[in-house]
Structure 1
Amino acid sequence: MIIESSIEKYGWNKKREVLKMDTLDPKVNSVANRKPARKIIKLFSWLLLISMIIEAPAFGLNSTIKLTIWTHQRHMADLIKELMNDFNHTIGRQKGIKLSMRVLGDDSWPMFHQAQKAGNGPDLYSSGYITKYPDNFEAGAQTWFDDFPDFRRWKAQWPSWYWVEGMTTYQGHVYSIPAQVFNSRLIYNRDLFRAAGLDPTHPPRSYQALKDAAQRISKLGHGQYYGFAYCGAESWPMEWMPSQWAEANGESAYWDWKQGRWAMEGYSRIFQLLLDLKKEGSMFPGTEVLTNDALRAQFAEGKIGMYMGEFWDVGVFNAQFPAKCDWGIGPIPTYDGKFHGKPRAMILSGMWNINGQSQHKLEAWEVVKWFNQYEVRALMYERGKCIDPDPIVVEKYVKHQPKVRGFEAFANTLDQDYLATYPILPGWKSPKDNPCTVFRNVLIYGGDIRGELNKLDRDWNRQLDAYYQKNLAIKRGWNIYPHFDRMTGKMGMPLIKPNFNVSSK
């Protein structure tokens, strides 16, 4: 019977034995032998058993902890889902953990804030996701790993260079490992190059050559396709493509590593190029409202000749928006076609942040450890979803090279970039305007882009001075690299090394 099997399953035989007639007091037995008494005791026995079965989940018997994961890494969402299924059927099944995933857009931070306020945010979310909190830890949106029981053993397996303040540690507390590198390149449509009489094996190297190619493609398209496109509706690209392309011109953009200050005027040349393309009729319409996803969807359909690409686009055109055109990847063009220095490739932590609000942090920690394994990281590399900064991943764990279109053009040219991450500014709150909003305003209303960026530069650095004055424990020298060489890409050592000791609990 089902009830009897439930008794065996949950080990309730002994509990039921207290109701056996031969365990009762003799005087009670004599009463119990009477028919009505036997019926009452039997009925009570069944009611007690049914109650215990109903209450079983409350005692944690045969229960599963369900964890929610939010990711903005849409270029690898298919593989993440596959890996989550592997986790659920292996260690997840062993430890009673089940993962579910939600895919987000880049500017979905208001949704994240609302979920946090309501107390129903995700248990984990993707590293690099922009929450818009000045400090994720102070906001309760992230927790470090130091306090987990096996943290010390876990940390000992990684090389010492993993621990970089502001990238993998927060005031010395470990919250991640370095696991992702993203560089920028020109992505272009070879089919449209051929149609316009351009050499599909030689993408433009100078701004003038780019404008000429974009104009030829746009004229040929007659409103059906255009030479160039840019996602002007969003502000997250600030530290990504425009600044990386600006740095290829030999100019500091986003952050000036030698001076340790914001470098907003450095965007001038690249934004002027975009304004020129718009003026010449070579830009895909609606730049000011065009999101990155919308741009990539149009490129996949063959409607765009060129745009500023990032490594994650490899996954996009192979999975998220499978490209219907013959597409290629070229070096970042410069204003005169000459080499002026290496652009920045962003090195980021990965893969998951543990939400400080999660009620299941120990279970979330199991997820972090599983995804951080060399074997899992090697699989992500093999599938062309991730460039791992640790050379041992490729040297020892990768079994075969990725056969994913576009991967090699980014991964095998990483020596053309220098590796860096965000400046160490815990609690920094950015001014309302940024280079992307300034560009958007000039695009719509007109104006002097260089003059506006110069003003923005002064505003951001005035606020930076106030930030340092208010936060005396944070040293300006942490973000100054006096020997940084843009031509070779060597950062050197900071003027002052951050004085936090990485936790070794």
Structure 2
Amino acid sequence: MWKKMTAMVTGLAVVASLSACGANGGADNGASNPNPAGGSGSGKKITLNYWTDDRHDQQYIQTLVDQFNQTNGGIEVKLNVLSDNYNQSIDIAFAGNQAPDILRVKSGNFLDFQKKGYLAPIGDYLNADSAMKQKFAGTLIEGANQIDGKIYSLPNTGQTLRLVYNKDLFAKAGIQNPPATLQEMVDAAKKITAAGKAEGAYGFALNFKSPLGAMQRSVREILSLSGYQGLGFDIKTGKFDFGPTSQVIQAFKQMYDDKSMLPGVETLDIDPLRAQFAAGKIGMYLSFATEPGVYKDQFPTKVNWAGALPPTIDGKVNGTSEIVSAGTWLGISNNSQNKDAAWKFLQFMYADNVLTTYHEKGFGIAVVPSIAAKAKKPDMPGMDGFLVTKYDSLWPVSPTVTPEGANYGDAFMKYMMTGGDLSKVVSDLNTRYNAALDKAVQAGSVKVKPDPSFDPLKLQGK
């Protein structure tokens, strides 16, 4: 599967490539003398700080960290799990010279972290470990985990996105199947609320405390399955166009106006949302393949729930649901004074037994070919609905830009809450995002090539 994904991504015309910046010059390593064995050789204990925003796998990762600490006497790793404002916390840490040694890297922050010089290239370390180099040889993708040939992270799993729904609440409302269209989703949310409101159950919710995050775990998948790039970028024209996005936002606004959303959704974060779903108070929401692990370990539930493909705008599947965070997992801080030791920890974390167990426990879908070939199907309630189908694939890498003013998550959230002229919201977003894109292209930090022949239907089965 990964070879097909690699060929598809590298062959597509839209590539967002950010120029490398940092203190390492042209060397493709994070230290002047890469030593995969790790450690400084002085006998002094080395402490490594490892930051992540993943909560669904926290218990397993902590177990691995404890195991590493017990078997590598000269190195101690300290795990720090941040639930809110992870990217902002990383920015503050680097600005204050308090950056962690090891970072969780995702598709949504990789290009930004690399551009800001946060990540140390690991190519020389990988070249010194022939077995590891061979294992990941087919998984290195420009714009996904390497920039200008410099490698900054390696993959573990990818995340499919699904509609997560409470079967019991659906049945109580007389709904037999998950919604296939936006209108069906709006109608289902209204019926579930009418049937369950007396017991405090509502039809729909999202983590609108972080509007952009909420959009990226929901609108994104509805659009990509409908045949549109999920982050507002038009691959055919090489420009941003939030017109398709507005159709999904209109449906969200209707659910909000119908009072079909959980009260207080405006300030709801993802973990409180999950707790409410586990308690049977939410009929449906959209999220990643992390959810089965969440409801097994973090918020154990007796709710009869499942995952299903998201609805599309009109019921037609004109594209695929995007597999996200498939190219990266862990990275070494460019500011770390202990890069050799950090690489030793990465070697431990990227070992076959760790990656295989990660998949089999249901924390993500394995994308490393040798792991995917031997790993067993995850034995976890709800995981069947998140497994890769012909309607899941990677999409071309979308350019990352920072517009002046509100981002599209905040702008659409404001419209949902207060109303207004949606066409003007779209026009304003298109103007500001394309101005930022033009500026980035002129500065050489982003490369964009329109692909008028792009056909999202051809992604199916890749």
Provide the TM-score with structure 2 as the length reference: 0.83
For the Cα contact (< 8 Å) 2:108–2:325, is it kept in 1? no
* Residues 1:356 and 2:301 aligned together: no
* Residues 1:383 and 2:358 aligned together: no
Q: What is the alpha-carbon distance in structure 2 between the residues aligned to residue 197 and residue 490 of structure 1?
A: 32
For the Cα contact (< 8 Å) 2:249–2:416, is it kept in 1? no
Q: What is the alpha-carbon distance in structure 1 between the residues aligned to residue 103 and residue 281 of structure 2?
A: 33
Among residues 160, 181, 186, which one is paired with 2:163 in the alignment?
Answer: 186
For the Cα contact (< 8 Å) 1:192–1:217, is it kept in 2? yes
For the Cα contact (< 8 Å) 2:308–2:386, is it kept in 1? no
Corresponding residue for residue 452 of structure 1? 425
For 2:135, what is the secondary structure of its paired residue? coil
For the Cα contact (< 8 Å) 2:392–2:461, is it kept in 1? no
Corresponding residue for residue 71 of structure 1? 52
For the Cα contact (< 8 Å) 2:355–2:366, is it kept in 1? yes
* Residues 1:142 and 2:119 aligned together: yes
Superposed, 1:419-458 pairs within 5 Å as: 419-420=394-395, 422-423=397-398, 428-458=401-431
The change in CA–CA distance for 1:174 and 1:61 in structure 2 (over 3 A counts) is closer
Highest Rg: 1 or 2?
1
Corresponding residue for residue 34 of structure 2? none
Corresponding residue for residue 201 of structure 2? 225
The change in CA–CA distance for 1:388 and 1:261 in structure 2 (over 3 A counts) is farther
Q: CA deviation at 1:104?
A: 0.6
For 2:120, what is the secondary structure of its paired residue? coil
The change in CA–CA distance for 1:265 and 1:382 in structure 2 (over 3 A counts) is same
* Residues 1:489 and 2:443 aligned together: no
The change in CA–CA distance for 1:244 and 1:222 in structure 2 (over 3 A counts) is closer
Q: What is the alpha-carbon distance in structure 1 between the residues aligned to residue 126 and residue 108 of structure 2?
A: 29
For the Cα contact (< 8 Å) 1:189–1:302, is it kept in 2? yes
Q: CA deviation at 1:124?
A: 0.6
For 2:219, what is the secondary structure of its paired residue? helix
* Residues 1:407 and 2:379 aligned together: no
Corresponding residue for residue 16 of structure 1? none
Q: What is the alpha-carbon distance in structure 1 between the residues aligned to residue 326 and residue 156 of structure 2?
A: 6
Q: CA deviation at 1:61?
A: 6.6
Corresponding residue for residue 259 of structure 1? 237
Q: What is the alpha-carbon distance in structure 2 between the residues aligned to residue 68 and residue 185 of structure 1?
A: 33
The change in CA–CA distance for 1:237 and 1:170 in structure 2 (over 3 A counts) is farther
* Residues 1:104 and 2:82 aligned together: yes
Among residues 221, 225, 242, which one is paired with 1:244 in the alignment?
Answer: 221
One-letter identity of the residue aligned with 1:231 = N
For the Cα contact (< 8 Å) 2:107–2:325, is it kept in 1? no
Corresponding residue for residue 4 of structure 2? none
Corresponding residue for residue 466 of structure 1? 439
- Per-residue CA shift, 1:201-253, capped at 9, x if unaligned? x2222223222222122112235110111222212344442121122223343
For the Cα contact (< 8 Å) 1:343–1:417, is it kept in 2? yes
Q: What is the alpha-carbon distance in structure 2 between the residues aligned to residue 193 and residue 289 of structure 1?
A: 25
The change in CA–CA distance for 1:134 and 1:484 in structure 2 (over 3 A counts) is closer
Q: What is the alpha-carbon distance in structure 2 between the residues aligned to residue 120 and residue 267 of structure 1?
A: 38
Among residues 307, 332, 341, which one is paired with 1:329 in the alignment?
Answer: 307
* Residues 1:165 and 2:142 aligned together: yes
Percent identity between the two aligned chains: 29
Q: What is the alpha-carbon distance in structure 2 between the residues aligned to residue 86 and residue 361 of structure 1?
A: 20
Provide the TM-score with structure 1 as the length reference: 0.76
Q: CA deviation at 1:184?
A: 1.4
For the Cα contact (< 8 Å) 2:157–2:368, is it kept in 1? no
Q: What is the alpha-carbon distance in structure 1 between the residues aligned to residue 107 and residue 51 of structure 2?
A: 9
Among residues 293, 296, 312, which one is paired with 2:290 in the alignment?
Answer: 312
For the Cα contact (< 8 Å) 1:178–1:389, is it kept in 2? yes
The change in CA–CA distance for 1:459 and 1:349 in structure 2 (over 3 A counts) is same
Unaligned runs of 5+ in 2: 1-39
The change in CA–CA distance for 1:110 and 1:344 in structure 2 (over 3 A counts) is closer
Q: What is the alpha-carbon distance in structure 2 between the residues aligned to residue 417 and residue 455 of structure 1?
A: 32
For the Cα contact (< 8 Å) 2:166–2:284, is it kept in 1? yes
Q: What is the alpha-carbon distance in structure 1 between the residues aligned to residue 85 and residue 47 of structure 2?
A: 26
Corresponding residue for residue 198 of structure 1? 175
One-letter identity of the residue aligned with 1:65 = I
Among residues 40, 46, 63, which one is paired with 1:82 in the alignment?
Answer: 63
For 1:178, what is the secondary structure of its paired residue? coil
- Per-residue CA shift, 1:423-472, capped at 9, x if unaligned? 356xx44444222111211123211234312320221012211221221x
- What root-mean-square deviation, in Å, do the aligned CA atoms of Structure 1 and Structure 2 show? 2.6
> Which has the bigger relative contact order, CA under 8 A and spacing at least 6?
2
Corresponding residue for residue 26 of structure 2? none
The change in CA–CA distance for 1:239 and 1:81 in structure 2 (over 3 A counts) is same
Unaligned runs of 5+ in 1: 1-58, 493-505
For 1:177, what is the secondary structure of its paired residue? coil
For 1:273, what is the secondary structure of its paired residue? helix
For the Cα contact (< 8 Å) 2:136–2:154, is it kept in 1? no
Q: CA deviation at 1:276?
A: 0.6
One-letter identity of the residue aligned with 1:447 = G
For the Cα contact (< 8 Å) 1:346–1:421, is it kept in 2? no
- Per-residue CA shift, 1:95-121, capped at 9, x if unaligned? x11211111114233333332233222
